[in-house]
Amino acid sequence: MITYLEAIREAQRQALENDPRVYIYGQDIGAFGGAFKATKNLAQSFPGRVLDSPISEDAMVGSAIGASLQGMRPIVEMQFADFSTVGFNQIVNQAATMFWRTGVPCPITIRLPSGGTPGSGPFHSQNLEALYAHYPGLILMTPATVEDAYSMLLEAVALDDPVIFCEHKYLYFHLKAESLPSEALPVGRARIARAGRDATVVTYSAMVHEALSAAEELSTQGWEIEVIDLRSIKPLDTDTVLASVARTGRILAVGEAWPWGGVTAEVLARVATDGFNLLDAPPMRLNSKDTPVPFHPNLWGTHRPTAQTIVSALRDLLRL
Amino acid sequence: MLQSAEMPRHTVKASDFSETYRRAFRWMLLARTTEEKIASVFRSGGKITGGVFLGKGQEAISVATGIALRNGDIFAPLIRDQAGRLAFGESLLDCTLTYLGARSGPMRGRDGNVHRGRPLEGLLPMISHLGAMISVVNGMLMAHRFQGKKNTVGAASLGDGATSTGAFHESINQAAVENLPLVLVVTNNQYAYSTPNDRQFACADLVDKAIGYGIRGHSVDGTDLGACLRVIGSAVELARQGEGPQLVVATNLRLVGHGEHDDAHYIAPHLKEMPLGRDSLAVAEAELLQNAWADSETIEGWTRDSISQVEKAIAHSLREPSPDPATEDWCALSSRHLAEGLSSNGSRG
C-alpha cells in the first residue's frame, strides 16, 4: 500500500532521477525531509539537489523563476499553502506573466500543502486554489487520489508553465492505493469518480471523498449521484461537467474553500451560461463558512462541507 | 543591434582605464541622447503611451554596471538604466520599439517602456514591484552552479526605495546564504518618487546594511564615472572570484522627475547645489578633456554619431506596425492545449 504523501515523495524521486534539471527547494526539506516528510531521504539520494531554503517565500519563488529561465525545473515546497501568500507577488506577477510578456516559458512547480486537518487553525488550513486560478498564466492542479498525486506531480514538473500543485494534507496519511499508476488521464480532464443518474456533484481534492460518502449514503435510499473529480481546476474541464449535467439535470458544486467567488462559483457560472437548458433545478453550491478556518475540531468539522452536509444539500437539490 | 555594429562589446583590461572610460562615456552619451529623444517624442504626443522614465544623472553608475558584465552574465536593470542596458548589449531598437509599442519589439506591445528584456540573453525584464528581480537573478546564478557554469556574475540595480522592501531583505539574505556571485548596485538618488531618504530608512548609510547580511559593502560617488568604473568593476570582480554577494551603494541626485509626468518640485534646492547634485555626464566630459583622453572635437563627433543612431532607431521604430488585437495570440500559457477559452468568445473567454 502506498499513501498519498508517499506518492508525492515517489513522484519527486522519479522527477529527480529522470531529469537532471530538476531540483527541490523549500524549508526544512533537506536532511530533515520536510515538515510532512514529503522529501524524506531525497537529499541523501540526490546530494545537492534537495536544498533547504531560508524562511523566505518571496525569494524561494523568485529564485525558482530565475533558475527555470536558465533551463532548470525547480520544485518549490511551501511548508503550508498558507505561507505561499508571502511569495504571492513572485507567483502571480513574475512567474504567471513571464511567458506572456517575453515568450520565454517559466517551468516551475510550487507544491502547496493545502486544506484543513483538525487542530490546524487559521494559518495552516487554507485552500488558495481560487486565488491563484484567478491569475492568467498559471496551471492549478488539485489531486484527490494517490494515483493523481503521483502522475499529476510528474506532469506538473514536465510542463513548461508554472504549476500550483495543491496537495491536500488531510489525504496525506489516510488515503492509500495498492500501487502507483503507470498511466493517467491527462491534466485538464476531469474524472467521473462515481457514475450516477439523479444529480451531479462537481468537486475536487479532499471533498471528492466526502462527496463519495454522501453518494454512498443516498444510494441506500435509491438515489444515484454522479461525482465528478475536477483533478485540475485550471484548466477546468467544463465539457465533462456539462455532459454530466445533461444526464442528471441537477448540479451541486462542492469546495472546501471559502464561498465568495472561487471554484464552485466558476463551475456554476459556466453551467448556467452554457448549460442553462440542461438544468431541471437551480444549480447549488456548498463551501466552507465565510470565516477564517477554526482551530477546535468541533468548529472545524462544521466549518467545512462534510458528507453529511453534502447529503443534506443534495436532498434539497432533489427536492426530497 | 544598431549601436553594437559600431561599438563592439568586450571586456577591456584594467590597464587600459582611459579606453574603458571613453567607451563608458560614449554609452552614457548615447543613453542621454536616446532618453532626450524619447522624452521629446513623448511630449509631442500620440506616439508614446504609458510612462517615460529617464536616467538623467544616473548614467555613470548604470554604465559602470553594464560595462563590468560580460557575455553569460545576468543583468536586472531598473528604470534608470538606459546606459547600463546599452553597455550590457541591449540594442537601441529594443528600447525604441518597446517605447513605441511596436509589435516587432521584444515585448510585442504586451509590456512597455522600461519593462523590456531578453531573459535568454541574461537581460531580465523588470516587473514593477521593487526588489522582486533580485531573487530571480539569484535563481539564475543557482542554475549556473547546478549546470557547472563558472565565473558568471549577476547584477541587479535598485534604488534607495527598494531597500525598504521585504523582497530586498529576503533575496540579499538568500544570496548570502548561497554565497552567490551577486552584485547589488543601489543608487541612492535621495528620493523614491517623492519620498526623501529620511522617510525611507533610519540607518546612517545604506551600505551599513551589508554587514548585517554578512556580505561586503562598497560606497561610491555616483556622479564620478571613474570612481563608479573602479568600485563597481572591483565589486563585480570580487563576485566573479567567488567572494560572494557585493553591495554597492552609489550616491547621487535624481536630476529629473520620477517619470516624465513628474515635475520633481519636491526636490530640496540645496541638494542641487551639493556635489551629489552634479550631472555625471558633464563631470565625465570635463574629466575626459582635463586628462586629454578626448578632445572636444572627438566628443562632438561622438555626439553627432549618437544623434544619428538615435534618429535612425526612432525613424525605424515609428514605421513598425502596432500590435493588432484581432490577430494577437491571447494565450498566457506556453502549454497551449491547457489554455482555456482560446476558441470561445463566450463566458470562458
For B212-264, the pLDDT digits (tens) are 999 999 999 999 999 999 999 999 999 999 999 999 999 999 999 999 999 99
What CA–CA distance (Å, rounded) separates A22 from A12? Answer: 9
Which residue in A has a C-alpha nearest to residue B137's C-alpha?
A66
CB contact under 8 A, B136 and A62: yes
Nearest to A62 among B111, B132, B177 (CB): B132
Confidence band of A216 (pLDDT split at 50, 70, 90): very high
| pLDDT digit string, tens, across residues A161-177 | 999 999 999 999 999 99
Concatenate the DSSP letters of all residues of B31-56 into one string.
HHHHHHHHHHHHHH-SS--S-----T
Residue contact A161–B137, C-beta within 8 A = no
User: Cβ B132–A274 below 8 Å, yes or no?
Assistant: no
> Where does the pLDDT of residue A320 fall: very low under 50, low under 70, confident under 90, or very high at 90 and above?
confident
Name the minimum distance, in Å, from the CA of A179 to any CA of chain B: 28
Contact B332 A137 (CB under 8 A): yes
Tell whether B114 lies on the interface with A, counting CB pairs under 8 A. no
- The pLDDT of A180-199, averaged and rounded, is 96
Alpha helices in chain A (DSSP H): 4-18, 42-45, 57-69, 88-89, 96-102, 129-133, 146-158, 207-219, 238-248, 262-274, 297-303, 307-317
Would B345 be classed as within a structural domain? no
| Contact call for A66 and B143, based on CB within 8 A | yes
The verdict on B173 touching A (C-beta cutoff 8 Å) is yes
- Three-state SS for B193-220 is CCEEHHHCCCCCCHHHHHHHHCCEEEEE
- The overall longest dimension of chain B from CA atoms, in Å, is 69
Span A141-164, average pLDDT? 98
Question: Nearest CA of chain A to the CA of B15: how many Å?
Answer: 33
Look up residue B322 and give its DSSP letter: P
Q: How far is A221 from chain B (nearest CA, A)?
A: 37
Grid cell in block for residue A157: 514538473
CA B184, B185, B191, B194 dihedral sign is negative
Residue B45 belongs to what domain range?
3-338
Ordered structural domains, chain A, with CATH: 2-177 (3.40.50.970), 191-317 (3.40.50.920)
Overall number of domains in chain B: 1
Of B143, B173, B348, the CB nearest to A67: B143
The C-alpha cell 556635489 sits at: B275
In-domain check, residue B134: yes
Cα–Cα distance between B151 and A181 in angstroms, integer?
44
Cβ–Cβ gap A68/B135 under 8 Å: no
Nearest CB to B348: which of A65, A159, A270? A270
Contact A65 B139 (CB under 8 A): yes
Is there a contact between B95 and B34 (Cβ–Cβ < 8 Å)? Answer: yes
Judged by phi (left if over 0) then psi (alpha if -120 to 50, else beta), residue A195 lies in beta
Q: Give residues 258 to 277 of B whose Cβ lies within 8 Å of A.
A: none
B40 within some domain: yes
Q: Is the pLDDT of residue A49 over 80?
A: yes
B245 vs A: CB within 8 A: no
Percent of chain B with pLDDT over 90: 92
Q: From B329, which residue of chain A is nearest by alpha-carbon distance?
A: A100
- Is residue B15 very low, low, confident or very high in pLDDT (cuts 50, 70, 90)? low
Q: What is the ipTM of this complex?
A: 0.97
**B154-185 pLDDT per residue, tens:** 999 999 999 999 999 999 999 999 999 999 99
pLDDT value at position B341? 74
Nearest CA distance, B322 vs chain A (angstrom): 16
Pairwise CB contact (< 8 Å): B171 & A94: no
Asked if B119 has any chain A CB less than 8 Å from its own CB, the reply is yes
Q: How far is B155 from chain A (nearest CA, A)?
A: 13
Cβ–Cβ under 8 Å, residues A140 and A129? yes
Identity of the residue in B136, B339, B347 whose CB atom sits nearest the CB atom of A65: B136
Please say if the pLDDT value at position B2 is more than 80: no
Q: Is residue B348 part of a domain?
A: no
* CATH code assigned at B327: 3.40.50.970
Look at residue B346 and tell me if it is in a domain: no
Residue B101 is assigned to a structural domain of this protein: yes
Q: Is the pLDDT score of B7 beyond 80?
A: no
pLDDT in the model for residue B343: 54
Mean pLDDT, chain A, rounded, equals 98
Burial class (CB in 10 A: 0-12, 13-18, 19+), A160: middle
Q: Evaluate whether A164 touches A136 at the Cβ level (below 8 Å).
A: no
B143, closest residue in chain A (CA to CA): A67
Q: Is residue B127 part of a domain?
A: yes
Q: Note if A124 is an active site residue.
A: yes
Distance (Å) of CA B333 to CA A230, A301, B341: 20, 38, 12
Interface test with A, best of B136, B171, B182 (most A CBs within 10 A): B136
Q: Is residue B65 part of a domain?
A: yes
Residue of B nearest to A107 (CA): B334
pLDDT at B348: 43
Q: How far is A183 from chain B (nearest CA, A)?
A: 19
Question: Which residues of B fall within a CB distance of 8 Å from A108?
Answer: none
